[in-house]
Each structure stands twice: as structure tokens, then as C-alpha cells.
Structure 1
């Protein structure tokens, strides 16, 4: 999923993410019109700018948060497997330049302004504040693993500091680790995670690691000897470009925590100031914060706000590491009641076992207060 990025004005109509716009282009055969600004970082931003130009839509600006210095530092991570993506990216940049599309690097402090919809954007480049008229602001700050399914399944997650995101903690063949206590598990964890839900790598890496995971599953069922050397090498080759991309396109829009007036939880319209105030009043873990504020209880189930809430909690409590996520709860996506009513094959005993830890213990008879005389 795209990295959620709260910034002033991000909830205005006319502010969209790059993947949403790309979906409308590909699936809806729709193209935007008016004054279009793209802001953020990552190869997808450059790809989308080229796709828009191919559709006859010339962006007013491509504002990148990454800098030339990032690319220079990233060069030491470049491997032969990364040369093809590098050449492709340089081609996108060249075509945009030939088309006369204005581009800047080092963009900071992005904000969208308007009443009923976005009307202009402001940002800082090289220490100077600039404002541009805008009808559509497209933002993209990189891709992070979608952890909602592993989290709801009770798998252990780990914080990835450089990428400011969580990802499932797995073995090289994708085997996850359960967070459930032994008395609530029937045996060792057998769930495996593969593809971008485990580690961002793209389609080729997902297919290569999928083969490794499949071979490991077959070995666990006494069919085969486990992941082959060729399959493991294919994963390494497919992921060889990742260190370069991570260094060349670090998180930019999400680098700084939002100010108090910026909305963090879109579903409940909670600002960063609302969350900071609750943290300072004593709600110092993620589930307590959610229970008090409803942050993460809306239709997105925390996908848009959870990382920012955790970073705010870490910042306010001066914690050494980022706190764990909200406890995952079904439904992972909103579904109609009729779909739930028609479910079959669900063992109600499993549901009871997995929710016992959330229920208050019954008071024993010897602890019940006697009635006052």
C-alpha cells in the first residue's frame, strides 16, 4: 500500500494518491484535467508523470522530496541487477525534461489550500516558499507492506526504521511468528507471508519469493527438500535493486511529524493535536489511545493513521523504539452484514479461544462485596 502522509489540506477533494490516479487511468479509462501537481518521491511518481504526458496531460509541476545527494549516496548500493530499473528511471526523467515539464527536488513543507476543493498548493524549495494554483494534487511517498492481514492473524510485526513502517517478522522462506501465548495455539505457527506484504520488491521479487515459500510448504508436508538454491538466488537477484531505491528515494513527505492542526485520522477527523493531548493526559499505549479517541476504528481500520499515531506516541513518550500497532481486529475490510450471515465453515470455538484474553475475568464469590447493613 502507499505510505499514508498527513499534511495540511490532505483531506481536501482534489488531493489524491498516485495509485488512485493510476487506477482511474487504467481501469476507469479516465484522465484528469486542469492544473496538476505531483509531489513526493519514488519511481511511481515519475512513471505516473510520464503516463499522464502520454495521455496528453502535461503536469504543471513534478516536485520531488528526494535530492541529488540521495542518489549519489545510493550509488554504492547499485548492483548489476539494478541497472535496468536505473536506465528506465533516467529515461522517464529525460522524457519529462524534453516535454518541458517543470521539476524540482528537495521539496518540503507541502500544504494544500482551498475551500470546497484544492485550489492551490504551497511548498518550500531551497528555503523559499512557493505557491502554485492547482486543481489536482497527486502525492506519493513510497510503498510500504500492507500489514492488516498479518496483524489480524496474530503474526509478529517488526518496525522498519529507515522506511518508517512495520513489516511481518518472517524467516527467509516467509514463515511468520505468532504473538499468541502457547495455551491459545494448537501448535507452531504455519502461516507464511510472501510478496510485497512481506518486503517491498515488486512483481518479479514476489513471484521469486512465492516459489521459495511454496517449496518450503511442500517440504513441511514431506514433499521435497525445501527451497532450492536456484530459487533463493532468484529472490536475491530480484531484490538486489531494493537497497539502491530505498537510499535514492527515502520517505520525504512523512519525514516530519504533522503539526497540531493537521488531521491524522480522516475517519474520525482527529488532529495531531487531539492525539498529542490524549497522550499527555496518560493514554500511553496504542490500544488505550484507540479506545479513548476512536483513532483507527473507522472504515480504514488504521491503515491511514496508525503509523502516524505510533510515531506521535513515540515522540511524546520519548520511547527508544516505535510502539506496536493497534491490535488487529476483524473485519479487515468493511463488509455487508449479509456476507457475514452467509459465512460457512467457520469454527465458533476458534473465535471464542482467540477473544478470551479481551474479556474481563469474572469476580469469584469470595471477592463479592457483602451488602451493607
Structure 2
């Protein structure tokens, strides 16, 4: 049987490749430390679990509207007002099977064959493939390391052509943890408005921010930017609910209607029980979020401190998310490896520490290390990485 050209054009995920190798080594009895996971290691908070159980007992186990239950959409409206200072109505919200699904549907709705989407690098691995699946063309702009991995207005302006339809923004960023401040967002937003671009604002890490920096949604800067922006978010990262698969989009009612219609012909609806759990996550106590954030900060500070002392490794302190994006170009060179990818492979084979090569995110000299794991695991991982570097 033949496979479609659409599927054959997809690039295999290096994240999945590393994870598969790590799991195979674990099956063989090796003690593997995995720093590749893009999910909190905490369990979903108890009050959210209780709400899911209660929803089942109350019979909420049937189909729901394709765009989500009314109660959850209302909770999302309240959340956007409370956290972001944004006002939306119910027909400007759709609930999806995770934020990844929201992004997928959005690209399917706004792109025609050959339409270009400008994507800053380093980027999350699925952005590129989702644009391609919608018939679009990813146009990559490099966020320079010396600029905190952020692009400039000049770079954005130069990348725009008559085929450009959208600009994708991820702040805080996966994989770098970089954040754009208000002034930077205003400058980028002004260019998008000049060219009438759809701004896709992935804000999934908005509550995982450390220090005094505050998340600013580009949609909150002006009514004009709000009109051109579709916000993508979900409960996975903030509430340790990756497996529940609840995301959402907020934006222009026509786009949201199109996304909902697409869902009605694919997933039917997000899982009913998960929706009631997400409702409790948004409306219930936020104390567990504060506790997880404090733990992540402690881990971040430890990991960055250790990495910065290793020969041939350099990294800045990320402002958000739960990843460190470390430059290992010199460590790889000194160790006799021809690339960071080879260095990552050697680290896994020799010291059983799994990280994700930066090439998966569009940056050849880096590796992504997740600190969404215990401090004890991070300590052991750093000991192994240090030993690996010194052995070369």
C-alpha cells in the first residue's frame, strides 16, 4: 500500500528517537536518566483528580459540543480576563484535544497551499511539520544566541513576502525559555499589523516564569493586535495535566468557528471527563501551581549553576518554561565529536543521560535539557555529564 506524499514529507522527531533509545536501554536494565521530557514530573493536583472522579459519578461521560462544554469555555473567558486582561466571548473560544491540536487545527483553517508562516528558531519541533501538513511553507528566522534567542523586528520585516500569512510567537519559549518584553512585542506586532499577518501566540508556558519577569500576551497590547492574534494555550504544563489533553484557542470568531468545525469531523470533542478536570484547574485553587513553580526554580538554578562550570558548555539562565538550552559546541569538539548530535548520542551511550539535540529545534550547536524531574535526578545527571566531558 502506498503512503501519501503528505505523510512521507514529515521529518522524524529527534525527541521521539532519543526517548525510544532511552526506553530500549531501560528495558536492557540500564539506569537511564531522561532529561528530554516536556512534561512536569508531578502528578495532577488532587482537587483536579477529585473533580474528574465526581464528573464521572454525575454522568458526564457522553459526547459534548465539538468546541467544548459551556462551563469550561466560560472558565477560559474568565482566565483570559484575570490573567491577561483580555475580553472574549464564548464564540471566540474553542476547546481542543491539547494545545498541539489547537495549533494543528488553526494552521488547517488559515493556510492555503504555498502560504508562508514565519517561525523563529529555535522552535518547538511540531511547528514545522504542522505548517507543512496544512500545505504551508515554514520560513525560519534565527534567534541569535547573543540576543537571548529572540528575533528582531528587522529580521521579521526582511522575511515577509507576498505569500506570508502568519507569524508564530512562543513566549516563554520551548526550547530556550526566552521571553519577549512589552517593547519587543509592540515592535513585532506593528510589523504584523502593517502586513495584516495572523499572529499565532503560543502561550502554553505563561505561568512557568521565574523572577520578576511577567508574561505579556501580544493580544493585550492593543485592540488591533487582539483582532489579528489567535492565542493558543492549555492546562498541560501549568497544572501537570499533559495526559488529559485539553488545550484551547481564543481569537477571531470566524477562525474559531472553522477550527471547531474541523474538530467536529475529526475528534468529535475533547474528552468529557478531562474537560471537567480542566474546569477545576482553571477555577479552583492555584496553590499547587505556586508549589510546582518554586520546585522548578530550584531545579533550574541548580542545573544552570552546574552546567556553567563544565568545560566547553555555556548557557544563560532561562526566564521561563522548564528547559535549559545549552551550547555544547566546544565540549563536542574537545571530545572528538563532529556535532552536538553525536555528542548527545555519546552521552546517552556512555553515561546513560538522555537529552535532546538542538538540531531538533533548528540550532545545531545546542542541547535541550529538561529540569522537569527531581533534584536528585538532576544532581546525578550533572555528575554523569561532567564525568563524560572530563573523560574525553
Q: TM-score, normalised by structure 1?
A: 0.31
The structure that is helix-richer by fraction is 2
Which structure exhibits the higher relative contact order, with contacts defined as CA atoms closer than 8 Å and separated by 6 or more residues?
2
Q: TM-score, normalised by structure 2?
A: 0.30
